[in-house]
Amino acid sequence: MRRALITGITGQDGMYLAELLLGKGYQVYGLVRGQNNPKLPLLAEVVPGVTILTGDLLDLSSLMSALTAAQPDEVYNLGAISLVAYSWENARLTTDVTAGGVLNILEATRLYEHQAGTRVRFYQASSSEMFGKVQQVPQSESTRFWPRSPYAVAKAFGHHMTVTYRESYDMHASSGILFNHESPRRGPEFVTRKVSLAAARIKAGLQEQLMLGNLDARRDWGFAGDYVEAMWRMLQQDQADDYVISTGRMHSIRDLLDVAFTEVGITDWAPFVKVDPRFLRRAEVDALVGDSTKAHRQLGWWPRIDFTELVQMMVRADVDTITSARTA
Ligand code: GDP
């Protein structure tokens, strides 16, 4: 039986990846931070087969203990402080966890390989935010990074460190440059879920207005359930490498509002939406769109769910939750 250790197991991607790996017969270990982590009950409900280990990306010895306990064939580093807007207010903490944490888990994995006399395959969750002020359209593995937030700088560090460990120690360490990926499990601090939740709540009469930032920002949004499949495929290759994972299609926040409000039967969202400068960013990433030709060719990976289906799925899930809370 193959064994995997996932950091960031309580996040959206951690849960989808755990489901995928459990379905493939893996023994799955999840690293959970903090005492009495509030997300543990949800994790136990969604993916009950995961073995929980406690540890923190800031604490190298806790990572060594987790690796020794899990004896993994594969390590997926999904743990990070992941909110771009928050990263300006907490630049140091974001850097410690989202950048320094990658170094810690790479180092722990290297030491574990040495001690146990085994090989481990490593996945780093890199981000399209590293492209920031884009130097090329669409963005591929060879596009130069221009990070525009402390979060993006931290992710660029993690990416380069993963490549450096691969080249320095011959580790099987891959970096997935994932474009925005969403699902009904996305936190409401991200714009897709904020909009899907608001559309459902406005329709139900529970909310009157939706305050947003830049309505003209454009992103390449895919479904998280599709993207975890790409992570796993990367670790099944003979050679570790870097891959852009994206849909290749770009949509604006306005497009997102169109699909979400149409799904609840509201044809004009304008009366409900207000721009609030509090949600504008100090340095915006205007438009991201990925070129996943390499992933199509080498991994045989393609996204299954498109933007419209994704937004509809998210709105329906929020409508269902509100409806079942009312009838309960
Ligand atoms: P990100 O791409 O990782 O930063 O994902 P987000 O979902 O947080 O933001 C995507 C885009 O939506 C960014 O360009 C934001 O500026 C834009 N946006 C506009 N209004 C909002 C808002 O109210 N909240 C968030 N999170 N983003 C918003």
Please report the DSSP string for 87-115 in residue order. HHHTHHHHIIIIIIHHHHHHHHHHHHHHH
- Calpha distance 306→304 (Å, rounded): 7
- Calpha distance 2→74 (Å, rounded): 8
Distance 280 CA to ligand 1 centre (A): 9
At 16-44, the pLDDT tens digits run 999 999 999 999 999 999 888 899 999 99
- Residue 251 tokens read as 């949509």
Query: What ipTM was reported for this prediction?
Result: 0.98
User: Is 61 annotated as catalytic?
Assistant: no
List b or e across 13-28, with b for residues whose CB sees 16 or more CB atoms inside 10 angstroms. bbbbbbbbbbeeebbb
Whole-angstrom CA distances from 272 to 40, 142, 197, 209, 277 are 35, 41, 13, 5, 16
Distance 36 CA to ligand 1 centre (A): 30
* pLDDT at residue 35, as a whole number: 81
Nearest CA owner, ligand 1 atom 6? 190
Distance 24 CA to ligand 1 centre (A): 34
Distance 285 CA to ligand 1 centre (A): 9
- Calpha distance 133→269 (Å, rounded): 29
Nearest CA owner, ligand 1 atom 12? 191
Residues 6+ apart with CB under 8 A from 199: 260, 261, 263, 264, 266, 269, 315, 318
- Residue 228 tokens read as 């975890």
Q: What does the angle CA 178 – CA 180 – CA 186 come to, to the nearest 5 degrees?
A: 120
Nearest CA owner, ligand 1 atom 3? 84
* pLDDT at residue 36, as a whole number: 86
User: Is 169 annotated as catalytic?
Assistant: no
At 214-247, the pLDDT tens digits run 999 999 999 999 999 999 999 999 999 999 999 9
Reference 173, options 60, 76, 56; nearest CA is 76
One of 87, 126, 127, 292 is an active-site residue; which one? Answer: 127
Rg of the Cα trace of the chain?
A: 20
List all residues whose CB is within 6 A of at least one atom of ligand 1: 84-85, 129, 180, 189-191, 194, 212-214, 217, 219, 253, 279, 281, 284-285
Weakly modelled stretches of the chain, pLDDT under 70: none
- 148 φ, ψ to 5°? -125, 10
**Residues comprising the chain, all counted:** 328
* Residue among 12, 13, 81, 84 whose CB has most ligand 1 atoms within 8 A, to mutate: 84
Distance 12 CA to ligand 1 centre (A): 17
pTM here? 0.97
Nearest atom of ligand 1 to the alpha carbon of 84? 4
Amino acid at 46: V
> Alpha carbon 144 to chain centroid distance?
21
* pLDDT at residue 152, as a whole number: 98
Q: Which pairing describes strands 218-219 and 242-245: parallel, antiparallel, or unpaired?
A: unpaired
User: Is 129 annotated as catalytic?
Assistant: yes
